[in-house]
Structure 1
Amino acid sequence: MSALGEWPAAWGPVRTSALATGGMVSSSSPAVSQLGARVLAEGGTAVDAALAMTAMSWLALPGQCGIGGDFFAVVREPDGRVWTVNGSGFGPDGASAEGYLDRGLTAVPLTGPQAVAAPGAISALATLHGLGGTRDLAELWAPAAAAARDGMPCTAKNRRDITEHADSLVADADLSRWLMPAGRVPSVGDRLASAALADSIELLARDPRALYEGEVAQRAVDLLRAGGAPFSGDEWVLAGDVPAEDAISAPYGDVTVHQTPPPSPGWMMLQQAGLLDGLLTGLPTSGAESVHLLSLAARRAFRDRYERCASDNDAWRALLGAEELAQGRAELLGEPLSVGSPTGIAGDTTSCVAVDADGRAISAISSLAFTFGARISIPDTAIALNNRLARGAYLLPGHPNALAPRRKPLHTLNAWIATDGTGRLRHVGNTPGGDGQVQWNMQVLSHLVDGGLDPQEAVSAPRTTVHPGSDADALGTPETLQCESRLGADVLAGLMAQGHDVRDVGDWGGGGSALVVSVDHERGVLAGAADPRMDGVALGV
């Protein structure tokens, strides 16, 4: 059970983790999990399942991800090898912090053409398929294409997203036809269909490079240039080439954690793990001292990221070195809390995890950045474009993360896998949630390793968030610690006494949609979980 002995009644009900002896999937949507489980049941690998699940997510969670966004994944092979794909692109070749400031801008606009970075998702998915897929991509994406053509029923989550952004969506012809049929916000259960999107999925399943070269790519570049984004077209072509890369790894307790490398912020989870390794052992799970230390480690990671790191430098490597970690750990334990550094948690993303009967595992995550991204689409395709450039590039000349040609914007997406000392799979997990991701992934890891919680307890435990992180639109925002009230009055009071500006976000209002599948090698059982804060489910085969 947990370090607390039993699940506290004050935390509310918790489902039992799903169990299986073959393969298992987990996602934030029942439709997505059902498809992934079916792929495994029909003999597909975990990679096949993730490819199919990601495409279905474009229909089930259209505000959170799409063809015009980004995609990251970490894969553990049955022989113990771990590798990653990291799909994100550059902003315009003609853009710079100085040039945008000269235009009178104080930040990259959050919507419209100037918000867009070239999308890396399709190229990364193609690389993933080429290295780990066993089924034809057209076969794996056929269910998603059919869902687009026939119409996916609108969920309550989708209706909320569409309602919030209706004014922007109705202004885009393809997005309006798909998401706001008859020019109105759909009701729950209404089918949302797009023949144009179905055609796009089928085209890209046959030829993923069609998004980066040729007619569709030219339409995208023309749209963006007409809207003031100085794309040359070359950066679009470059986004179509996403190689596989080694994972970055670090120890935590009795496991080794494998993460996605930059431009992913996976190193930030590893830095927190290095700062906290051994400090949380024996402390009550989600007690005031545990939350305090987790929060300090997250704050330090965001501060270091802001002050030193960019997608195209290696400053993060020193932050994971023994000397820097030892110094950071001493400061964590000895310095009084100081708030107000120039570094909110927002944004929409979705993810999935899968493990197959051979022990192959994948953690995959994809996003448009903010909900529905830039809220524009490539004409006649229904491919919504991301707003990653607006979220991740600073208009601060000379800053490591200043907007510059061929510099990828800072990212929020990261995915993790944990193995034991012999290289066996122990846990695979992730969560959407902007700059909350690296914090909540660390919290879930600690719940599993330090607290001994099972997967469902770990993803359901009260969530806390240092707000803001380091999103470009949030620089200078006062720091707060957002806490779910299930922590209890005593813990919240203890955190305030430590100097935190605590903001109560309600019982389950912490955000995210954490997913975990764990392996019990002694009993030969998989245990999986999906976050009760969303509609997800874990399914075994």
Structure 2
Amino acid sequence: MNLHINAAEHGVRAQNCMVATGHPLAAEAALKVLAEGGSAIDAAITADAILGVVEPMATGIGGDLLAMIVPSDGKAITYNGTGRAPAALTADQVEALPGRRIPERHALSVTTPGAVRGWFDLHARFGRLDFARLLAPAIALAEGGFAVAPICAREWKLFEPVIARDLVSAKLYRAGAVPAAGDIFTNPELAAVLKAIAADGPAAFYEGEPARAAAEASKASGGVLAEADFRAHTGDFRDPVSAVFRGLTVLECPPNTHGVAVLEALSALEPLALRRDDPETMVLAARAMAAGLAHARKTVADPAGNTVCTVIVDASGLAITLMTSVFKRFGSGIGVPGCGFVLQNRGSGFAEPGHINGPAPGKRPYHTVVPAAALKDGCFHAGFGVVGGAMQPQGHVQLLLRIAAWGEPLQAALDAPRWRLESDTALAIEAGTPQPIVDAFRAAGFTDPAGSGELAGRSDFGGAQIVMRASDGSLIGASDKRKDGVARGA
């Protein structure tokens, strides 16, 4: 694929390094880390910590982390930092709930946060700068304040009812008077926790006041998360799973994520013509995606959520796609007293008892976060991620269709309208989709899902970040306009 970088639709181009992330402040801080000799992993941790401050409805230290790392030699590895169910969670507790499932905002939906341990595990293996240096920008923003970005402000207002139900969250995130775009927001409690983590390492979080306060908050809400669950948490490095599509080796994270759904869909599409000018191509893609998601539900678990994504390639060629999440916006909604963050609700991803993804003590639930990458001729070609719960694998397939099969310019491929399966047959179609494609979807039996549609800046259809190595060796970055992010390089 040849990309001639001469227009905004192609994305941002740079020779040495590239950052694509969900907020300009995160991109700026990450580039500074790279300029100081930090690795792509150092820069990604810096950006991610900032995203937890400036986009608290999407991510934070109360959530999980997954990453796809591709060194310059192409020998990729994934990191799974997803948390497990509390040791005291039992199937009987879930059997007693309506529908035999954990509701989205229920106290039993809280799982152990894995993001902080993930930062340190990644840094221990790939970091170059002192860890305290990496958290300094996030601490400064939490302490001194930042201007709330437009899309973030819309989501904050839209999900105000979630934080309003919890006294700690309501006070922390200003329920009743949530920040508007441009308003200054501070979080000194979070700044203090980040300072402790920077000074004393992961023990400050997993064995200190945050663990104690989180267990207290969970218990007060009827949950079962305990301090011992924090102490027991570990993450692990794993080999990626892969499939070939249009000359690329596409890399996804293995279960407990639904990255396998992407590979199932791409494998089904690979032998097909996939003509760009034929509306039926999108119908074939949606059918392949539905089959891939069904496969994941049977073999991994059940899908949905909000996440942040950062993709960075440094001057040495080391690349990372790092994603963190509190799952649904503002997670469980349960705030941790005195600590400035909410606990995730990833446990609502468990299926009913008896299912392969049924709840059990210390078990990881089905996870929607899937950082990804692609190799070309055995070397790094692209790192990418699409936030948005069940939209994540669907976004991967649609991006790869446009970029790898059709050779579309990078930014144009991100900006193009998308579709989203809400079930095997219900399909939401984003505004701007050409009418022949809409007609083809409906003629194929895909119905319009009631109550679906745009959500605070079209985030129902995801928010992608991508960095690609061009044929001339330069880097091209693009950031989804459905979010507040940017791509910047040097």
TM-score, with length taken from structure 1: 0.84
1:455 paired residue among 379, 392, 410: 410
Give the distance between the partners of 1:256 and 1:44, measured in 2 at CA.
Answer: 28
Structure 2 runs not aligned, ≥5 long: none
1:177 and 1:194 in contact (8 A); partners too: no
Asked if 1 retains the 8 angstrom alpha-carbon contact of 2:256 and 2:364, the reply is yes
**Where do residues 130-529 of structure 1 align in structure 2 (5 Å cutoff)?**
130-170=124-164, 172=166, 174-180=168-174, 184-206=177-199, 207-239=201-233, 241-281=234-274, 283-284=275-276, 287-310=278-301, 347-390=305-348, 392-394=349-351, 396-421=352-377, 423-468=378-423, 479-502=425-448, 505=453, 509=458, 511-521=461-471, 523-529=472-478
Q: For residues 506 and 435 of structure 1, what CA distance do their matches in structure 2 show?
A: 15
CA shift, 1:171, in A, is 5.2
2:110 maps to 116
Residues 353 and 362 of structure 1 are in contact (CA less than 8 Å); yes or no, is this contact kept in structure 2? yes
Greater mean deviation of Cα atoms: 157-166 or 86-95: 157-166
Letter in 1 for 2:350: A
Deviation at 1:430, TM superposition (A): 0.6
Report the Cα offset of residue 398 of structure 1. Answer: 1.5
How big is the shift at 1:77? Answer: 0.8
The one-letter code sitting in structure 1 at the alignment partner of 2:483 is M
Contact 1:85–1:242 (Cα < 8 Å) also in 2: yes
Aligned mates of 1:175, 1:84 — CA distance in 2: 33
| Letter of the 2:242 counterpart | S
Deviation by residue 1:86-145 (Cα, 9 ceiling, x = unmatched): 111112222233333236674313225322011111111111111111111110110000
Render the CA deviation track for 1:147-186: whole Å, top value 9, x for unaligned: 00001212222322332233442454554444218x6222
Moved more, 113-122 or 205-214: 205-214
Please say which of residues 296-305 and 272-281 is displaced more in the overlay. 272-281
Give the drift of 1:538: 0.7
Uncovered stretches (5+) of structure 1, i.e. residues with no partner: 4-12, 311-342, 469-477
C-alpha RMSD over aligned residues: 2.5
| Contact preservation (8 Å) 1:113, 1:223 | no
1:232 and 1:356, CA in 2 relative to 1: closer, same or farther beyond 3 A? closer
Secondary structure of the residue aligned to 1:462 is coil
Please give the alpha-carbon distance, in whole angstroms, between the structure 2 residues aligned to 1:56 and 1:367: 13
| Amino acid across the alignment from 1:222 | E
1:27 matched residue in structure 2: 21
2:321–2:372 contact (8 Å) kept in structure 1: yes
Q: Contact 2:479–2:487 at 8 Å: present in 1 too?
A: yes
Cα offset, 1:438, TM superposition:
0.5
Cα distance in structure 2, aligned partners of 1:255 and 1:51? 28
Q: Which residue of 2 aligns with 1:8?
A: none
Instruction: Work out the CA distance in 2 between the residues paired with 1:104 and 1:284.
Output: 45
- Report if aligned partners of 1:174, 1:381 keep a CA contact under 8 Å in 2: no
User: Match of 2:19, SS?
Assistant: strand
Measure the CA separation in 2 of the matches of 1:234 and 1:373.
21
Partner of 1:339: none
Q: Is the 8 A contact 1:355 1:362 kept in 2?
A: yes
Letter in 2 for 1:189: G
Structure-2 change in CA distance of 1:171 and 1:480 (3 Å): closer
Instruction: Read off the aligned partner of 1:21 and give its amino acid letter.
Output: Q
Closer, same or farther: CA 209–263 of 1 in aligned 2, 3 Å: farther
Contact 1:23 1:356 in 2 (8 A): yes
Q: CA separation of 1:199/1:280 partners in 2, compared to 1, >3 Å: closer, same or farther?
A: farther
Whole-angstrom distance in 2 between the partners of 1:154 and 1:178: 15
- Give the Cα–Cα distance (whole angstroms) in 2 for the partners of residues 502 and 400 of structure 1: 30
Q: Does the Cα contact within 8 Å between 1:72 and 1:415 map onto a contact in 2?
A: yes
* SS of structure 2 residue aligned to 1:434: coil
Deviations 1:345-377 (A, max 9, x none): x52111110011111111111110000101112
| Aligned ranges 1:68-107 → 2 under 5 Å | 68-102=62-96, 106-107=100-101
CA distance in 1, matches of 2:410, 2:161: 40
Residues 369 and 389 of structure 2 are in contact (CA less than 8 Å); yes or no, is this contact kept in structure 1? Answer: yes
Aligned partner of residue 238 in structure 2, secondary structure: strand
Q: Any conservation in 1 of the 2:2–2:470 contact (CA below 8 Å)? A: no
Aligned partner of 1:126 in structure 2 is 120
Amino acid at match of 1:517: V
Deviations 1:20-61 (A, max 9, x none): 111001012111112222222232221111010000101221
Do 2:425 and 2:445's aligned partners in 1 also have CA atoms closer than 8 Å? no
288-297 or 63-72, which deviates more? 288-297
Give the aligned residue type for 1:418.
Answer: A
1:263 counterpart SS class: coil
**DSSP-derived class of the 1:222 partner:** helix
Matched, 1:540 2:486: no
Query: What is the letter of the counterpart of residue 333 of structure 2?
Result: R
Equivalent-residue separation in structure 1 for 2:342 and 2:105 (angstroms): 12
Q: Distance in 1 between matches of 2:73 and 2:437?
A: 44
1:112/1:198 Cα in 2 relative to 1: closer, same or farther (>3 Å)?
A: farther
Q: Deviations over 1:286-342 (max 9, x none)?
A: x422211111111112212223334xxxxxxxxxxxxxxxxxxxxxxxxxxxxxxxx
**How far apart in 1 are the matches of 2:241 and 2:461?**
26
Secondary structure of 1:352 counterpart: strand
From the superposition, tell whether residues 105 and 492 of structure 1 become closer, same or farther in structure 2 (CA, over 3 Å). closer
Figure out how many residues of one structure are paired with residues of the other and give that number: 482
- Asked if the contact 1:352–1:363 (Cα under 8 Å) also holds between the matched residues in 2, the reply is yes
Deviations 1:185-227 (A, max 9, x none): 2232221112110011111223113222243312222321332
What's the TM-score, normalizing by structure 2? 0.92
